[in-house]
């Protein structure tokens, strides 16, 4: 279904900006600071990006900084003011939206000359009818025809989405004005309220799993429900690990009268930040499930949605709205991009880690940009740094990790807890504290001293405790350090395993051309195909799990190694068939590496 709406950017009716985006890629959320203001850098070119809503302290700091840079008035929203977190988020998103609209209007009225904003907009587009129309305009010899085509092109300009991300499980309760905390004051709900009350027409990406209270809260906001024309002003995007998760969560939301407009499939391990290995199901088989079952899933969700809408007083449109399937995690070449589109028919691809080397798109200081550029395979690792207890990809030589190790060497492990977004542990205190905090680690290490452990067990337990870092504060350092808000910030870099294969500091135009295959940025010769890199990470995860069980150490949380092994074997069979039919270049090397990993997996017996 395609909707028509009145554009806030131009006095013409236009296609709803959430449908049929002009670019086939998007920039996912990266930490809290890296993409906090990325829409101001790319949305006017039709490129969607995602802003994290975790850290309202950072969001308020950014609102002040952005307002100051743009010459806008700024009135602070204090931390103790009523509904401060939601109001901060609303105010920041509205400011960004207003500035993007102004950027777009300037772009729309610029001249079609070399290097102009409107020329840049059209020259970055992928092959498409819109790009063909631009090429037709360039080739037009008749000035009148050329002028009419230019006017049409101006009218067809659309922005990228100013999308937001909410981690559903980061849902700490907060008291309001010293009162007992209410459910609506939790971190996830206040973030949702802040977004819902904004003027944005975009998407909220819900990640990290199911939160029934948050899902129920969504239907209290009209923007998530269809209007008389069946249009939702704000879309729901679910980040999912597999098809089963999409079906369960999508059905639950549909029964509440809420439509999931997009399922965003993310690789469990071949991604940045938190990594969820799950049961070992690989990206290829997961996307095959979506390709095979998408139509049936859409119709089932539509039937549930129609019933759910009856309880909200809304009427469903006569046909199901669009359901997009997108994918992110480890994509690095135009060939991989094309494979995902042509073989699995996904609607969009998320490119994250490579943009850490594009400083005109993300926030990154010169020191960490140089470290990322020079990083090799051993410089990024899957760590225990996250207080959430979930494996976390990070750069070993980031300021956050360096400072953490220095504190340990000084006999003062742990950090202060300046923001408290990840406080959850009550092992030693009545009031929850963070496992990265000095207060927790001191108590935990004292507790370990009183236990009877082998040397290996004690070393392992100690490293597990002291590995935790203050990531909710340090991930903001990408912005606060580079923008001069907090020059002494200890920046954490949540780079995925794909990052280390890129070494060139690029500009937006260069990265876009790389994505679409117009140029090829230099990549490390040893970079494996994204599917094989993910498989390799899963094999290593299984090996680590089996080694820990053999040594009598606490496990990694893998519930059933035998099932994981079986799923990986199934994935290998899928990739054998894929290589035989879908590869033109690189088939031999893909098959050779695949068989090597298969042999490694054969040797791992639970």
User: pLDDT tens digits for 128-164?
Assistant: 999 999 999 999 999 999 999 999 999 999 999 999 9
Q: What is the pTM of this model?
A: 0.94
CA angle 394, 399, 404 (to 5 degrees): 80
By CB atoms closer than 10 A (0-12, 13-18, 19+), residue 178 is: exposed
* Residue 45 DSSP code: G
Digit-coded pLDDT (tens) for 519-557 = 999 999 999 999 999 999 999 999 999 999 999 998 888
Spatial separation of the C-alpha atoms in residues 472 and 57, rounded to whole Å: 11
Instruction: Round to whole Å and give the CA distance between 387 and 365.
Output: 25
Average per-residue pLDDT for the chain: 93
Domain ranges of the chain: 17-354, 377-502
pLDDT confidence of 180, banded at 50, 70, 90?
low
pLDDT single digits (tens) 393-432:
999 999 999 999 999 999 999 999 999 899 989 999 999 9
pLDDT tens for residues 306-337? 999 998 889 999 999 999 999 999 999 999 99
User: For residue 207, which of 56, 353, 329 has the smallest C-alpha distance?
Assistant: 329
Residue 95 CB neighbours (<10 A): 19
As a whole number, mean pLDDT of residues 496-504 equals 95
CB atoms within 10 A of CB 302: 18
Where is average pLDDT lowest: 82-91, 312-321, 457-466, 562-571?
312-321
Higher pLDDT, 389 or 196: 196
Closest alpha carbon to 468 in 361, 520, 392: 392
- The pLDDT, as a whole number, for residue 14 is 38
What is d(CA 122, CA 135) in angstroms, rounded to the nearest whole number?
A: 9
- Closest residue by Cα to residue 261 from 300, 221, 301, 229: 301
In angstroms, rounded to a whole number, what is the distance separating the alpha carbons of residues 434 and 32? Answer: 18
Structure token pair of residue 339: 């494979």
pLDDT in tens, 213-244: 999 999 999 999 999 888 999 999 999 999 99
Q: What is the pLDDT of residues 240-264, one digit of tens each?
A: 999 999 999 999 999 999 999 999 9
CA-based nearest residue to 315, from 226, 218, 251, 236: 226
Confidence of residue 3 (pLDDT cuts 50, 70, 90): very low
CA distance 180 to 168: 22
Cα(570)–Cα(276) distance, integer angstroms: 19
Distance of CA 144 to the CA centre of its chain: 45
What is the bridge-based pairing of β-strands 4-6 and 13-15? antiparallel
Q: Examine the pLDDT at 9 and tell me if it is beyond 80.
A: no
Cα-flanking dihedrals φ and ψ of residue 264, to 5°? -105, 105
- What DSSP character marks residue 363? -
pLDDT digits (tens, 9 = 90+) for 378-395: 999 999 999 999 999 999
Which is more confidently placed, 379 or 174?
379
Beta bridge partners of 523: 502
Q: Would the pLDDT of 178 be above 60?
A: no
Quote the percentage of the chain above a pLDDT of 70.
95
Burial class (CB within 10 angstroms; exposed 0-12, middle 13-18, buried 19+) of 426: exposed
Q: What is the DSSP letter of 488?
A: T
Q: Are 272 and 502 spatial neighbours (Cβ–Cβ below 8 Å)? A: no
The token pair at 150 is 């230019």
Residue 170: which pLDDT band, with cuts at 50, 70 and 90? confident
CATH topology of domain 17-354: TIM Barrel (3.20.20)
Place of tokens 């498409």: 128
């Amino acid at each position: 279904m395609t909707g028509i709406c009145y554009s806030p950017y131009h006095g013409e009716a236009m296609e709803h900006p959430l449908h049929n985006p002009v670019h086939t890629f998007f920039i996912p959320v990266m930490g809290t600071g890296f993409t906090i203001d990325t829409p101001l850098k790319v949305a006017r070119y039709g490129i969607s990006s995602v802003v994290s809503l975790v850290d309202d302290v950072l969001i308020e700091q950014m609102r002040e900084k952005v307002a100051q840079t743009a010459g806008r008035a700024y009135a602070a929203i204090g931390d103790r003011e009523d509904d401060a977190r939601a109001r901060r988020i609303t105010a920041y998103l509205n400011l960004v939206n207003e500035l993007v609209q102004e950027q777009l209007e300037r772009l729309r009225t610029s001249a079609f000359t070399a290097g102009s904003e409107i020329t840049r907009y059209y020259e970055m587009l992928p092959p498409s009818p819109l790009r063909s129309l631009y090429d037709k305009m360039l080739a037009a010899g008749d000035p009148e025809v050329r002028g009419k085509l230019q006017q049409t092109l101006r009218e067809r300009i659309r922005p990228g989405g100013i999308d937001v991300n909410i981690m559903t499980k980061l849902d700490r309760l907060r008291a309001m004005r010293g009162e007992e905390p209410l459910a609506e004051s939790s971190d996830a709900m206040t973030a949702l309220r802040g977004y819902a009350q904004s003027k944005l027409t975009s998407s909220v990406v819900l990640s990290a799993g199911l939160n029934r209270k948050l899902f129920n809260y969504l239907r209290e906001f009209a923007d998530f429900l269809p209007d008389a024309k069946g249009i939702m002003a704000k879309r729901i995007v679910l980040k999912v690990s597999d098809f089963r998760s999409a079906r369960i969560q999508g059905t639950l939301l549909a029964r509440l009268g809420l439509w999931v407009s997009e399922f965003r499939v993310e690789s469990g391990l071949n991604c940045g930040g938190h990594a969820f290995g799950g049961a070992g199901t690989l990206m290829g088989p997961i996307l095959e499930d979506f390709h095979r079952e998408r139509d049936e899933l859409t119709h089932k969700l539509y039937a549930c949605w129609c019933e759910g809408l009856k309880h909200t007083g809304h009427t469903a449109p006569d046909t199901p709205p669009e359901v997009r399937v997108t994918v992110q995690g480890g994509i690095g070449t135009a060939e991989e991009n094309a494979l995902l589109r042509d073989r699995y028919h996904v609607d969009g691809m998320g490119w994250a880690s490579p943009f850490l080397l594009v400083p005109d798109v993300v926030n990154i200081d010169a020191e960490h940009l140089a470290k990322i550029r020079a990083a090799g395979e051993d410089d990024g690792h899957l760590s225990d740094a996250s207080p959430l207890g979930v494996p976390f990809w990070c750069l070993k030589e980031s300021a956050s990790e360096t400072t953490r190790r220095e504190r340990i060497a000084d006999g003062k492990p742990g950090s202060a807890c300046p923001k408290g977004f990840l406080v959850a542990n009550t092992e030693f205190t009545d009031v929850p504290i963070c496992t990265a905090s000095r207060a927790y680690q001191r108590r935990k290490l004292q507790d370990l001293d009183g236990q009877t452990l082998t040397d290996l067990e004690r070393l392992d337990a100690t490293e597990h405790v002291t590995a935790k870092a203050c990531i909710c504060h340090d991930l903001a350092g990408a912005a606060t350090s580079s923008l001069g808000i907090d020059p002494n910030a200890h920046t954490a870099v949540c780079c995925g395993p794909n990052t280390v294969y890129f070494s060139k500091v690029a500009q937006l135009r260069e990265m876009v051309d790389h994505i679409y295959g117009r140029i090829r940025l230099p990549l490390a010769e040893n970079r494996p195909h994204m599917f094989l890199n993910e498989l390799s990470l899963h094999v290593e995860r299984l090996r680590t799990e089996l080694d820990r069980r053999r040594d009598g150490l606490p496990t990694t949380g893998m519930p059933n190694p035998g099932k994981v092994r079986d799923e990986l074997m199934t994935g290998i069979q899928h990739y054998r068939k894929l290589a035989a039919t879908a590869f033109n270049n690189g088939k031999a090397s893909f098959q050779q590496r695949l068989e090597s990993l298969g042999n490694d997996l054969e040797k791992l017996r639970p």
